[in-house]
Amino acid sequence: MTVTACVMYSEGSWMDRAYWPTSTAGGGGEHTAREDCLAVGDSRMKSIEQLEAELNLPRLKSRVCAAIQSRLAAECESLRNENTLLRQRLEAGLVTHSTPAQPISPVPPAVSVPSGSPVHPADAVASVTSSSPVAEKVALFRSLFRGRDDVYAKRWDSRDGRSGYSPACANEWNPQLCHKPCSRCKNSLCKPVSDQAVIHHLSAKPTMGVYPLLFDEMCWFLAVDFDGESWQDDSLAFLSVSDAMGVPAYLERSRSGRGGHAWVFFDSPVSAAIARDLGAAILTRAMDARCQMSFASYDRFFPNQSTMPKGGFGNLIAVPLQHGPRKLGNSVFVDRDFEPYADQWAYLAQIRRMSAQAAAELVQRSAVDDGITGVPASVVDASGDDAAADASLHLRTAPCHLLR
């Protein structure tokens, strides 16, 4: 018996090298060994093909690649959303760089205040600046620009150029419940004021408006609206008299830049009638001090009514620091030269609030000493600059002057 080397192949491919014994005597041994060699090769090829079929390698590879791509796409989308949110907060002043806050102009000092009725600073938020956490800024903002808690308004802009304000509704755009226009919808569900609504207002989302007149016809602030060519001179006259009377007032330029709001904040709810009489008392003295000042520059008070209109919320006012206008230097608080304060949050934190007792005493004394110019309740177009009218009001009364 001899050993013959055979190269085993299958279907033209080299497979393995083996050696087997062959017999030269029987004449068929070499043929049988060769057949056995080929049979083994075929068996191995079938085993490999069967394994590939069971694993289905192309399909497995495709599924793994698809899973990796899907996960990467989800992570990219999450990063994009986070980036967008951070950019919005940065633009809104809710996130700041590590550089120190710029100094602000000093708040005008307080002058004589009725005895026993101090003007109170916002002690709890006195340290808020542009570098403060979002939660502290939102808390400060809500403590100042406070109206009804159960409803707020948001600004809308239509494709045909119209704009206005409507109560924020939880059912808006719900295909089963929302029926435009809102004034005719029976499924309205007013949204309460929330931190998120304030953040949206500051971060390029819909502008927020508050309804100053509370259920019990009280209010947390008085805002005096000035419009027209002489708004700057007239608002300065109002602020000057406010200082002299001991009323802390703060000036905001409106979103259009063509008007302003003088704000007076209270440390507790004040009767809307007293708040409006307080504003009228200041206006009366301002008109006496500056004879050319008239009701042409004064537009309206907020709250716009002393009593709650039947079936309505009363007039609303859009709150300051609106994202878009703020980029243009509007909807911000300004100094007596009409320059915006560098750090709006630090300025808001230093605002002083008048007590309800001080307001009532001042109104009573002014009615006796000076007389008070009657102030009309006005209706404004819902497409106005910073306010929307209550649908239940349809009458503008003429102003009247009380004789001394």
Amino acid at position 89, single letter = R
CA distances from 28 to 23, 64, 309 (A): 7, 53, 117
Residue 107 lies in a domain: no
User: Given this model, what pLDDT does residue 325 score?
Assistant: 94
- Structure token digits, residue 275: 């708040």
The CA distance from 138 to 125, in Å, is: 11
**Burial grade of 364 (CB within 10 A; 0-12, 13-18, 19 or more):** middle
Average pLDDT value for residue range 93-100: 42
The CA distance from 354 to 365, in Å, is: 16
Are residues 190 and 281 both part of a single domain?
yes
User: Given this model, what pLDDT does residue 52 score?
Assistant: 61
Task: Among 55, 71, 86, identify where a domain stops.
Answer: 55
CA distances from 148 to 109, 182, 190 (A): 31, 20, 11
Residue 78 lies in a domain: no
Residue 266 lies in a domain: yes
Are residues 21 and 160 both part of a single domain?
no
Are residues 365 and 249 both part of a single domain?
yes
User: Given this model, what pLDDT does residue 381 score?
Assistant: 37
User: Given this model, what pLDDT does residue 373 score?
Assistant: 56
Q: Give the containing element (helix H, strand E) for 261.
A: strand 259-271
Structure letter (DSSP) for residue 340: B
Are residues 27 and 123 both part of a single domain?
no
Are residues 13 and 148 both part of a single domain?
no
Average pLDDT value for residue range 159-163: 85
Q: Is 348 helix (H, G, I), strand (E, B) or coil?
A: helix
- Most confidently modeled range among 72-81, 95-104, 149-158, 362-371: 149-158
- Structure token digits, residue 200: 């949206």
Structure letter (DSSP) for residue 229: T
Are residues 177 and 42 both part of a single domain?
no
Give the angle subtended at the CA of 330 by the CAs of 326 and 333, to the nearest 5°: 95
Of 189 and 120, the one with more pLDDT:
189
Residue 94 lies in a domain: no
Are residues 12 and 132 both part of a single domain?
no
Q: What is the pLDDT of residues 271-307, one digit of tens each?
A: 999 999 999 999 989 888 777 666 577 889 999 999 9
Strands 316-318 vs 298-302: parallel, antiparallel or unpaired: unpaired
Are residues 46 and 127 both part of a single domain?
no
Task: Among 55, 70, 93, identify where a domain stops.
Answer: 55
Per-residue pLDDT at 252 exceeds 70: yes
The CA distance from 165 to 251, in Å, is: 23
* Confidence grade of residue 103 (pLDDT, cut at 50, 70, 90): very low
Q: What is the pLDDT of residues 205-221, one digit of tens each?
A: 789 999 999 999 999 99
Are residues 42 and 150 both part of a single domain?
no
Are residues 253 and 354 both part of a single domain?
yes
The CA distance from 347 to 103, in Å, is: 10
For 48, the domain range is: 2-55
Q: What is the mean pLDDT of the chain?
A: 75
User: Given this model, what pLDDT does residue 89 score?
Assistant: 60
Alpha-helical runs (H) found in 209-355: 231-245, 272-289, 323-327, 344-349
Residue 268 lies in a domain: yes
Residue count of the chain, please give it.
Answer: 404
Are residues 51 and 124 both part of a single domain?
no
Are residues 247 and 160 both part of a single domain?
yes
Q: Is 297 helix (H, G, I), strand (E, B) or coil?
A: coil
Q: What are phi and psi of 182, to 5 degrees?
A: -60, -35
Per-residue pLDDT at 403 exceeds 80: no
Residue 209 lies in a domain: yes
Average pLDDT value for residue range 61-82: 73
Of 291 and 336, the one with more pLDDT:
336
How many domains, the chain? Answer: 2
Per-residue pLDDT at 18 exceeds 50: no
Residue 249 lies in a domain: yes
pTM of the model: 0.65
Per-residue pLDDT at 375 exceeds 70: no
Does residue 169 contact residue 189 with C-beta atoms inside 8 Å?
yes
Domain harbouring 325, CATH code: 3.90.920.20
Q: What is the pLDDT of residues 133-144, one digit of tens each?
A: 999 999 999 999
Residue 212 lies in a domain: yes
